[in-house]
A and B are shown apart, each in its own frame.
Chain A
Amino acid sequence: MIELFRSLFTPPRHLILLVAAVWLGQSLAEKRAARHQVSAEALGNLIFYGLVAFILGGRLYYALSHLAAFVKSPLSLFDIGVSLFDPFGGGVAAVLTMLVYGRRQKLELWNTLDALTPFLAVLAVALGLSHLAAGTAYGRPTDLPWAIPLWNADRHPTQIYESLAALLTFGLVWTLKPTPRPGLLFLTFIALTAGWQLFLGAYRGDASLFMEKFPLDQVGAWAVLAVSLGLYEWRRSRDQQAGDGNVLS
């Protein structure tokens, strides 16, 4: 079953999963946008501009980071291959573009983040599945009965753990009721995602190390968890006059 899935979505076809997730996530987010006082049209445009900026920014950042290579071959800038791409640069470009667009459209930050949450939650599920298809984010060797054979060893199926955790997170954020304080839904999603990334990071076999000892992904997830819990507490403390919310209450 897993082999069939991996054959069907072998790279670069694993990107189909992400494209499908963008479509599904955007549809679901637009459906719920009004609940967060954001128009579906504005949210759709925000996602569209963010995606365009992600694609262009990722390519431009990669080109700037490898300037000598692109000076030798400038036409490669327009190559359709996905390898000439830096996700970090793409992410920064997407966030900046969405901030500028949101400001111009006078979108409330926390309401918009809440409205975007279903989109992000679906993307997180697809990311786990794309890891499974590509065999990346693989697990440590184990002799547990549910181990999967990958890269010449029986390993923790970390990509499946990741997909299931993301699916549960999606289920939770989709069923939570709206809160009087905007932003709590988004912060709940971020805290949960960082929490399971931190937990599952212990089973990853591909971790880069921080200070040559600690898995970098886990350290990053802990920092995100700390910030999201801090912001959550800050948002909730401002609730005391406005009444209680329902998320993580």
Chain B
Amino acid sequence: MQPTLRRILFIVILIAGLAWIGISANPADSDTAAAPQVGFSAPDFSLQSLDGQSYRLSDLHGQVVLVNLWATWCPPCRAEMPAIQKVYAEYQDQGLVVLGINSTVQDELSAVAPFVADYGLTFPILLDETGQVSSTYQLRSLPSSYFIDREGVIRYVVSGPMSEALLYARIEELLK
């Protein structure tokens, strides 16, 4: 290809690229639905806690919420529990809510209370006995955690165990 022709082609490509960006701007079909993914509104749910209280996620609007799905038989879930409890104790006064959702549908209900006592967990432990939340949140692995901001939007999703530093970093960002 002749150099002049090539340069013209490159310029045309760049102008077409700019036009394409302009056409793509401000899509009218942007998402509004809730979904268990970063950037979406957190899907709402209502569950009973281990001590019989009812919790609805949408009632916690305005607070930073960490939803953690776990099971007693899951080693990574056990590994991260002390860190979650520590961070919850430190930040609950600043507006952090932790909802520890036991995936009871794939766990032994009788094992939950001893687990909570063993780890000294003071945040609400909710029981997903029908698998409703596991299904709504398209749970693929345990543990799975969802960091939800004050507007009810999921900001981070973590599959697998979380370290203390990760919890501090993410929660401090959301509490700012």
Residues of A within 8 A of B (CB): 6-7, 10-12, 62-63, 66, 68-70, 72-73, 76-77, 79, 81-84, 135-136, 138, 140-142, 151-153, 195, 198-199, 201-202, 205-206, 213-215, 218-219, 222, 225-226, 229, 232-233, 236-237, 240, 248-249
Contacts and interface: CB of A to CB of B under 8 A. Distances in A.
Contacts of B158: 83
Residue among B17, B20, B39 with max Cβ neighbours from chain A (10 Å): B17
B13 A152 contact: no
Interface string B14-35: 1001101111111101110111
Given A205-B31, A215-B21, A237 B3 contact: yes
A213 B160 contact: no
A82 B17 CA distance: 35
B46 interface: no
B23 A222 contact: no
Given A136-B38, A225-B14, 5 more contacts: A69-B169, A72-B168, A152-B34, A195-B13, A240-B3
B161 A81 contact: yes
A122 to B, nearest CB: 25
Q: Say which size band chain B's interface belongs to.
A: 35 or more
Contact of A153 (B6, B33, B39): B33
B55 interface: no
Contacts of B35: 151-153
Given A69-B165, A229-B13, A233-B10, A12 B31 contact: no
Contacts of A7: 140
A226 B40 CA distance: 33
Residue among A6, A11, A199 with max Cβ neighbours from chain B (10 Å): A11
Given A81-B161, A84-B163, A218-B21, A69 B168 contact: yes
A167 to B, nearest CB: 22
B29 A141 contact: yes
A81 B80 CA distance: 11
A198 B17 contact: yes
Contacts of A195: 13, 17
22 contacts: A10-B159, A11-B141, A62-B169, A66-B169, A68-B168, A72-B165, A73-B163, A73-B164, A73-B168, A79-B163, A81-B163, A135-B37, A140-B29, A151-B35, A195-B13, A214-B21, A215-B25, A218-B21, A222-B14, A229-B10, A233-B10, A240-B3
A233 B5 CA distance: 12
Contact of B17 (A10, A135, A222, A248): A222
B162 interface: yes
Given A69-B172, A77-B165, A198-B21, A11 B159 contact: yes
Contacts of B22: 214
Contacts of A69: 164-166, 168-169, 172
A10 B37 contact: no
Contacts of A248: 1, 6
Nearest to B43: A152
Nearest to A66: B169
Nearest to A153: B33
A66 B3 CA distance: 50
A240 B147 CA distance: 57
Given A198-B17, A225-B17, A151 B165 contact: no
Nearest to A12: B160
Contacts of B24: 201-202, 214-215, 218
B27 A79 contact: no
A76 B165 contact: yes
B17 A68 contact: no
Given A83-B158, A135-B37, A240-B3, A226 B14 contact: yes
A76 B29 contact: no
Contacts of B141: 10-11
A202 B21 CA distance: 7
B106 to A, nearest CB: 16
